Amino acid sequence: MDPTPEPARTDYRALALQTRTEAVNGLSPGEARDAMAASIARIGAEVAAARRWVGPDLRLVVLPEYVLSGFPMGEPVERWRDMAALAPDGPEYSALAAVAAREGLFLSGNAYESDPHFPELYFQASFVIDPAGAVVLRYRRLHSLYSPTPYDVWDRYLDAYGMDAVLPVARTEIGALACIASEEILYPELARALALRGAEVFCHSTSEVTSPALTPKEIGRRARAVENLAYVVSANSGGLHGIPIPGDSTSGGSKVVDYEGRVLAEAGGGESIVAAAEIDLAALRRNRARPGMGNLPSRVKPALWAAEYARHDVERPNGLDGRAPDRAWFTERQRDSIDRLAGPR
C-alpha cells in the first residue's frame, strides 16, 4: 500500500531583507550596469547567508525598492532608461533568477524596467521570481509622482497586456502573492483590488524614512493588513549610498505584519536579516472564512464605490502619447489634478 502523501505545508518563514542600495546616479550606462551586477552578487550572498541563519523553511525573501539603482535625481527619462532600467529578458533578471533557483525560494523585489512596447519610457516594476527561476509576477507601479506609469499610456498598455497584468496575483505553493511598491501602501484601493483578486501576502518593496513615531507608510502597512486580512512583508533599504542624501535617511523598519495588523518582526537600522517571521496561511484562510465583524473583505460593497468613483475627475489616463516626459510635465499634471479636486463637487 502506498503511504498517505504528506499534506502540503501552509506555514513558512518570510524575510524582509534590509540591504543597502548603491545608487548609480552619475555613472555612465556601462558603469551603472557593472554596479548593478555587483549589487546582485552581494544580495545573492546575503540571501544565501539568510537562509542558513533563518532556516530551511525560509521560502520568501523581499528586497527593498529600486535596490539595484537608487532613484533618478533629475536625470531625463531617456538617460535613466538607458543606464538603470532592466530589460525583462536581460542579464540582471537572469542573475536574480539564479539566486532564487540556487536557494530554492521565492524572491521579490523592485527595479526600473524597460518595455519593448513603450521604447520611449521606463516603468517601475515589482516582481516575484519562483524557485525554478521563473518570473511569476510582474507588477508595474501605478502611482508615481515623477515617473511614468501604465496609467499614463493606459489604452496602449491595456491593448498590449490586458487588465490581469495591471493587477497581477500569483497563485503559488506559498500562497497567493501580490506586490505593492513603496508609497502605494498609502492607496487602499490598490491593496483592496489585489485582495479581491485573492492576494494573501503583500510583498512591499520600499525605500523610506523611518521614525520612532508612526509614519504614514507605517500606518498604511498595518491598515492594509487589517482591511484585507493579509500579511505584509515590507523591506526597506538598509542605507542609501552614492548620492548626497544622508545614507541612513532610508534605513530600518523592515517588518512582517500579520493579517490582524500585528508586527511579528522588525529590523532596526542598517543592513539586517532580523525582519523574518512565520507566515501561517492556514490561520489566515480560517479567518477569511470566519463570519463576523472583523471579516472586512466579506463586507465590501464594490458596486457602490465604483459608481461613486466614476463621478470624479482627478488624475487622468493617457497623458503620454509616444513621448518621454520631463519633470515639468509631472508637476503640471499634479497641479491640474489639484485644480479639479478644488472645483465644484
Model confidence pLDDT, tens digit, residues 215-264: 999 999 999 999 999 999 999 999 999 999 998 999 999 999 999 999 99
Residue 327, pLDDT above cutoff 90: no
Mean pLDDT, range 318-325, rounded to an integer: 84
- Give the closest residue to 179 by CA, choosing from 126, 236, 113, 112: 126
Name the β-bridge partners of 113: 86, 123
Mean pLDDT, range 169-185, rounded to an integer: 98
pLDDT of residue 343: 80
* pLDDT more than 70, % of the chain: 97
3-state secondary structure of 61: strand
Residue 331 CA to residue 145 CA, distance in Å, equals 8
Residue 249 CA to residue 193 CA, distance in Å, equals 31
Mean pLDDT, range 52-67, rounded to an integer: 97
pTM attached to this predicted model: 0.95
Q: What is the tens place of the pLDDT at every residue in 75-111? A: 999 999 999 999 999 999 999 999 999 999 999 999 9
Cα–Cα–Cα angle for 190, 192, 195, rounded to 5 degrees: 110
Mean pLDDT, range 278-299, rounded to an integer: 96
Mean pLDDT, range 266-288, rounded to an integer: 97
| Strand blocks (E) in the chain | 11-16, 21-22, 58-62, 106-113, 123-129, 135-140, 170-172, 175-181, 201-205, 231-235, 240-241, 255-257, 263-266, 276-280
Q: What is the tens place of the pLDDT at every residue in 20-47? A: 999 999 999 999 999 999 999 999 999 9
pLDDT of residue 345: 56
pLDDT of residue 6: 54
pLDDT of residue 260: 97
Residue 4, pLDDT above cutoff 70: no
pLDDT of residue 169: 98
> For the packed helices 188-196 and 216-228, what is the interaxial angle rounded to 10 degrees?
30
Cα–Cα–Cα angle for 194, 293, 183, rounded to 5 degrees: 35
pLDDT of residue 344: 67
Residue 154 CA to residue 328 CA, distance in Å, equals 20
**What's the chain's average pLDDT?**
95
pLDDT of residue 9: 77
Residue 1, pLDDT above cutoff 80: no
**Per-position DSSP letters for 219-232, written without gaps between them:** HHHHHHHHHHT-EE
Q: What is the tens place of the pLDDT at every residue in 180-222? A: 999 999 999 999 999 999 999 999 999 999 988 899 999 999 9
Q: What is the tens place of the pLDDT at every residue in 116-153? A: 999 999 999 999 999 999 999 999 999 999 999 999 99
Indicate the burial class of 225 (C-beta count within 10 angstroms; 0-12, 13-18, 19 or more).
buried
pLDDT of residue 61: 98
